[in-house]
Amino acid sequence: MTNKISQKLQVGDDSSNLQAGRDININYSGDAKSEERDFEIIDEIFKNVVQKIKNKDYNRLDKKYLRIHEKIKLNFVDTKDKERVQDYFKTAYTITSLIETRMQEEDSVIQEILGGHIFEKYNKLKDEGLENINILEKLFGQFIIKGKEDNPFYTSCARAFVLFFFDDCTIFEKTKK
């Protein structure tokens, strides 16, 4: 459904004009198209990562669910870092739920391989002595498909991909719960 809204501007000589270029088209199907595009990007990221890691052997990881704000508090001491990570989660909420759906479509072996792969990348960065915020941001960059680094849709989906594994406790420290 498309609505057309025009604003008229009253001018001093009692005439009225449309405000320059201010006609607004509201397209309600945009959200569905956006979600479909995001899911396609997520699928491409999954396929890309799976392709790169198919022949590696990984151990099973602990998959306990934790409330995200407790985990952020544990892993990020600096207030600005905590706020930044919370903002990452706020902007990635819809996409992380799509990633969860996509992850559930994979068989358990692929799920374990993906988790093991991101856990390995996390540990390599951790061993470099980087601060947690830098580890997280470097991980974001590692899952963007080459040639798509400047595409905001791909960067958002890659960020959500990493945040999914943060949320499910594959990477970073776990709370005692």
Write down the mean pLDDT value for the chain. 79
For residue 54, the model assigns a pLDDT of 57
Residue boundaries of the structural domains of the chain = 31-167
**What tens digit of pLDDT does each residue of 76-106 get?**
999 999 999 999 998 888 888 889 989 999 9
Give the rounded percent of residues in the chain with a pLDDT score beyond 90: 49
**What tens digit of pLDDT does each residue of 42-72 get?**
888 888 777 765 544 333 222 333 468 889 9
How far apart CA 145 and CA 148 sit, in angstroms, is 6
**Cβ–Cβ < 8 Å for 55, 120:** no
Asked whether residue 21 carries a pLDDT value surpassing 50, the answer given is no
- Quote the pTM value: 0.65
Cα dihedral sign for 24, 29, 31, 34? negative
Beta strands in the chain (DSSP E): 2-5, 8-10, 16-18, 24-27
**Cβ–Cβ < 8 Å for 125, 135:** yes
**Cβ–Cβ < 8 Å for 161, 62:** no
For residue 53, the model assigns a pLDDT of 57
More confident residue, 174 or 8: 174
Closest CA to 89 of 118, 75, 68: 68
